[in-house]
Each structure stands twice: as C-alpha cells, then as structure tokens.
Amino acid sequence: MSMSEIKDKVGILLVDDQPQRLIAYRAILADRGLDLVCARSGREALELLMVREFAVVLLDVSMPDMDGFEAAKLIHEHPRFERTPIIFVTGVHLDDLDRLRGYSLGAVDYVSVPIVPEILRSKVAVLVELYCKRKELQRANEELARANARLSEANIALQEEKTRELEVMNKSLQRANCELEEANRSLQSEVGERARIEQALKEADRHKDEFLAMLAHELRNPLAPIHNAIELMRMKTLADPQLNWARDVIARQLTSLTRLVDDLLDVSRITRGKINLTRQVVELEGLISRAVETVHPLLDEHRHELTLELPPPGVKVFGDPTRLTQAIANVLGNAAKYTDAGGQISLVASLSTEDVEIRIRDNGIGISPELLPHVFELFTQLERGDGRTQGGLGIGLALVQRLVQMHGGVVTAASEGPGMGAQFVIRLPLLREEAEPATAQSVMAAEASQPASEVACAVAPLVAAGAQRMARRILIADDNNDALESLATLLQLSGHEVYTATNGGTALQSAERHLPEVALLDIGMPLLDGYEVAKRIRAQPWGGRITLVALTGWGQDSDRRRSREAGFDSHLVKPLDLEILTDLLDRLPSGAASNRGRGRSVANGG
C-alpha cells in the first residue's frame, strides 16, 4: 500500500458539542484530503473509536456530561487507542496545572479559541504525517516478516536469492528509518514552535498588565480635578436645588468610575496572584460598619432598607481590614444593584465553634440555576428580568472569593431562582483571645478606612490620632493645572498656607525657599519627576523634616515600593480622598507649624 493510499484513508475525529465549531474545523481541514468524522460528545467519540481507527482526535475541553479531560482518559485507557494523539481545544485560559493534567492524559498539544487556521492545519499535518509514517513502517515490518518466513523455508540452493531479498528489505528499512528521523525532526520543530508561542503568550500577558496600569493612571489623572471640584462645590452654598442635585450626581458617578478603575487593576492582580495582605487583629463589628458605610450611598440611591444583626462586641478575626471590608462591601453592593428600588437587604453576623459567619440576603432578581455555579467566575454578569445584564466588569464576586480564600475562609451563594432573591454567606476563621498573635501588624485608622486603591505607605513622621487640627505650610507639585489649582484651593479654604509648582524643577526650588511641612508631589512631572524631586529633597540638610507624599495615578505594589525607595513617607492614589489627606495633616507634629504663621495665600510656582 503506497503513502498516498494510506493518506486517502486517514481519519480525523472532531469532537465538540458546538455545531458551529465542528463546521469551522471541517472548513479549515477540508482541503487536506482527510476523512473528517464529527462527534457531538465524548461518549459519541468513544463509540466511533470502537469501529475504526483515527490518526488524530481534536477534542474540546469544555463539554457537558463528559468534559475533554475525562474523554481523553477513557480513550487512552483502551489498549487500542493508548497511542492515539489528542489535540485539546479550549476557549478558556488554562494554567500550568491544567496543561500538565492534559499532557498526563495523553494530550500532545493545545489550540485555543478563536482558532488560527494555519496553526491548526500545521499541527494536524504533523500528526497525520507521523501516522502515515508509522503505517508505512508497520507495512515494511510485515513484509520483512513474510520475507523471513519465505527465507526460512528455502534451502542453501536459494541462498543468493535470499541474500538479494534481505538487501531489498534492508534498503526499505533504511528508507523507513530516514523517514522516521525526518518525522522526529519535524516533531522537535513543533516543540520549539510551541515554546515560542508560550513565550509570546507570557509577553502578551505582561503587556496586558502594563496596559491596565497605564489605563488606570491615565483615567485617574482627570478624575483628581473632578473630585477636587466637587469638594469645592460642597464647601460653597448652592442656592439652586438643581445645582445641588447635579453636584451629587457627578459625585456618585465619579465614585462608580473610580471603582471601575480599581477593578481594572484588581482583575490583573487576581490572574497573577499579586494581591498582598496586611494582616492584623480586627474586630468584626468594625469591618461590617466600614463596609456598610462604603455601600451606604448606593443603598440610599435605591431606597433599600438594610437590617443588621451583629454579634456581641469583641468578636475578632485575623486579616487585612481593608481587603475584608472590600469583600463584605462588594457582596452588599451586589445585593443593592440586583434588587429593585425599595428592596429589603439583611446582614446577619453569627458565631460557630470555629467560624464567623456573615450572611447577606436580598429580595432581588435572584440567580438562575444555570448561572449559580458560575457567579464567582471572572466577568460573570447576572441578567435582569428584562433580559439585560447589570453594568460593571463582572469581577466583584470573583475578587470576594479570592480575598476570602486568602484569609482561610469560604464564600457560597444560594438562590431559589429568578425573582426569588439571593443569599451569600462568608465564613472566616474565628480568632480567640488566647490565639491572638503576639506581634500583630498595626494599621493606622486612616489607612484601615480608605479604599484599596488609596492605602498609603507607612508614614514615619505621623503621630497618634487626635492631634489638634492646625494650618500647615504645604507645597503641591503637579503638571495637570486643573488638578493643581483645585487641590490648592481646597487646602487654602481649609486654612493652610499653600505653594504650587507645575514641574519638578520648580517644585525643588520652592521646597528650598519655603521649607514646607508637607510636599504633595505628582510622580509624572516634566523636567524632574516626583521620584527625583523626593531624592533631591532628602539629600538636603533640611529635607529630612519635610513629610513627602506621592500623589499619583499609579497605585500598584511596585509603584508604592518605588515611592518608599525614593524617600516618600506616603503614597496616595488619585483621585485623592480629602478626608484621608486631612487626617494625615492632623497627625503631623505641631511644633514647626506654630512658628510659621497661618498664611492663606497661594503662591503660584513658589
């Protein structure tokens, strides 16, 4: 049988529960001269394998009843198919453990959806070629066996003929060996191509993270002056009720937009496992109070009634107060969003022998049985009764699950169906007094209450809370004029002596001339960036007395670490929460300020 005759009968088994993908596979491989056989499930694929042989099985990973991994295991457990090569098709991101599992089940490769036709053709072509070579070698071996049988029946008189036949067989084997070596080289080339593709995927993932960080930074820059302008409007009396209403609308939407920016970064941190926790002993009642305070504007906007049942005071857990507050607030926020106006929401916190249980129930739109198992997956969005999905990125509950798991807890969801409301239960390990860590990490009140995007670095010059509020001499440097002037005006109206600079060089000169108590420095300034200004200030004899605050749109862990290394005492992310800055100023030592007067003028450029 010739190679062309073998190829004419080569079968490819296409297994996918989605008909449109089967059509796509057939269209991609149609011009290869192959016998393309389709199966809609793993069970149907096994039945087809029992009646004929296939060179390659193209197997979808995600199928109902029997997924690709289970089907692959059953295929390779059968002696007839243990060497049948399998290419997995997947539409989701697989981590290394998933890939290792696939390879252990006999997978030779993966292709991702959307499928690149040339890649699929090349992968199938290599495996078909190997199959044909193996068949050809099998045929040669069978011919050799028959020749040996004939030679064993011959006598010495036929020795010369036997020798000639052996030479022919040897040449055939050599040719088969050469073809096998060529196939091996092709396989090695395929392995190298796979490594190149994996490296390209890692590079693409890195570019994605860089893009998300850049996007968050660019969005935060215009958010800062908008936030400052709203604060200024709140300091002034607006006679027209519609102007008050418009201001509050802008404030609410600004808060939503800021949370979306934080979500963009959190989704990157989730996928890379980069969420860091600052653990300490924290009371459950305080966590719940801060979470309710965070969601209170949303509850008021929808006119929901929230009922609380809290455990006795003194119940404690060990964890990151900011992240635990975020987890509880995300679940409360979801309940508010997915409940029609005037709804009922309850939060009940109780204790068991080992756990703290936080049960949040609403009478909202509910969750369908099909969607319930997926509510904690990234980008999952619930549908409202009219078929529309609620807005947002769909990562809030995924973040809740990850944060709770990092604290050694679990979160579950339950619903009796659409229109029947939903219930989420967070369970965290209970911290008993005898088990409290001897050296629990402490977090200042200002940091414990602010959002995750605005957790400051440790501020060495700050003293205990409760210092008397007083005027400060403050330098603000920012190349965004709207952000600069609006923040300067806010601080001026609060009674502070403010100096401004629009670039790093001017900021350095102003710092030397006026010796401010606090310098709020934007990072991305022209001439000298904020890092360089901080380093140069710290290098001066007078520079150690100034509290340096990085005010920037960059908020990842690497940015905060770089701020500390440059000499900053604190790292605040735009848009700035004025209460956080006020608290920071209140905690500064009071001696220097009292000797400098209480000037109220704003000097542009120092």
Q: Do 451 and 413 belong to one domain?
A: no
∠ CA 381-385-386 to the nearest 5 degrees? Answer: 95
* 3-class DSSP assignment, residue 114: coil
Q: Judge if 253 and 119 occupy the same domain.
A: no
In a domain, 326, yes or no: yes
Written as six digits, the tokens of 273 are: 């496992």
Residue 491 CA to residue 486 CA, distance in Å, equals: 9
Closest of 328, 331, 323 to residue 269, by C-alpha? 323
Residue 312 resides in a domain: yes
Same domain, 412 and 462: no
- Both 26 and 128 in one domain: the answer is yes
**How many other CB atoms are there within 10 angstroms of residue 335's CB atom?**
28
pLDDT at 496: 93
| Residue 546 neighbours by CB under 8 Å, 6+ apart | 511, 515, 516, 517, 518, 519, 537
β-strands 518-521, 473-477 pairing: parallel
Looking at the structure, tell me whether residues 257 and 345 fall in a common domain: no
382-405 confidence digits (pLDDT tens): 665 555 445 555 678 888 998 999
CA angle, 144 then 146 then 148, to 5°: 70
> Do 560 and 580 reside in the same domain of the chain?
yes
The helix (run of H) or strand (run of E) holding residue 378 is none
Residues of the chain with pLDDT under 70: 1-8, 92-94, 96, 98, 106, 154, 209, 213, 216-217, 267-274, 381-394, 433-469, 590-606
Within a domain: 116: yes
Which CA distances in Å does 523 have to 505, 531, 539, 575, 577?
A: 13, 6, 18, 14, 18
Q: Examine the domain organization and report whether 285 and 274 are in the same domain.
A: no
Task: Using DSSP bridges, classify how beta strands 344-351 and 305-309 pair: parallel, antiparallel or unpaired.
Answer: parallel
Give the rounded percent of residues in the chain with a pLDDT score beyond 70. Answer: 83
Domain count of the fold of the chain: 3
Alpha carbon distances (Å) from 344 to 299, 328, 469: 10, 17, 41
Q: What is the pLDDT of residues 174-225, one digit of tens each?
A: 989 998 888 888 888 889 888 889 888 888 777 776 777 677 667 777 887 8
pLDDT in tens, 493-520: 889 999 999 999 999 999 999 999 999 9
Cα–Cα distance between 109 and 94 in angstroms, integer?
Answer: 13
User: By C-alpha distance, which of 400, 406, 411, 408 is closest to 435?
Assistant: 408
From 101, 132, 153, the end of a domain falls on: 153
**Residue 202 within any structural domain of the chain:** no
Neighbours of 143 (CB within 10 A): 14
Buried b (16+ CB within 10 A) or exposed e, 310-329: ebeeebbbbbbbbbbbbbbb
Structure confidence by residue, pLDDT tens digits, 90-126? 876 667 676 777 777 767 788 888 888 898 888 888 8
Mean pLDDT, the chain, rounded, equals 81
Do 304 and 332 meet the contact criterion of CB atoms below 8 Å apart? no
First and final C-alpha spacing in the chain: 91
Rounded to two decimals, the pTM is 0.46
DSSP lists the bridge partners of residue 548 as 519
The CATH number of the domain where 418 resides is what? 3.30.565.10
Determine, yes or no, domain membership for 173. no
The residue segments making up the domain with residue 30 are 3-153
H helix count then E strand count, the chain: 18, 18
> For helices 530-538 and 557-566, what crossing angle results, to 10°?
30
In a domain, 200, yes or no: no
Residue 18 lies in a domain: yes
Same domain, 450 and 598: yes
Query: What does the pLDDT read at residue 329?
Result: 93
pLDDT score, position 393: 57
Q: Last residue of some domain: 442, 472, 501?
A: 442
Same domain assignment for residues 433 and 453: no
Q: Are residues 605 and 456 in the same domain?
A: yes
Position 459 in a domain: yes
Structure confidence at residue 576 (pLDDT): 83
Q: Give the C-alpha distances (Å, rounded to integers) separating 19 from 32, 56, 121, 314.
A: 21, 19, 19, 59
> Could you say which of 408, 442, 476 is where a domain stops?
442
CATH no. for residue 238? 3.40.50.2300
What six digits make up the tokens of 146? 């028959």
Encode pLDDT of 446-474 as tens digits. Answer: 333 333 333 322 222 322 333 345 889 99
Residues 389 and 525 in one domain: no
Residue 108 tokens read as 């030779």
pLDDT at 604: 39
* Distance separating alpha carbons of residues 99 and 323, to the nearest angstrom: 31
Q: For residue 226, what pLDDT is reported?
A: 86
Look-up of token digits 């400098």: 596
Helix, strand, coil abundance in the chain, percent, nearest 5: 55, 15, 30
Are 272 and 380 members of one domain? no
**Pairing, β 305-309 against β 280-283:** unpaired
Phi-psi region of 111 (alpha: psi -120 to 50; beta: other; left: phi over 0): beta
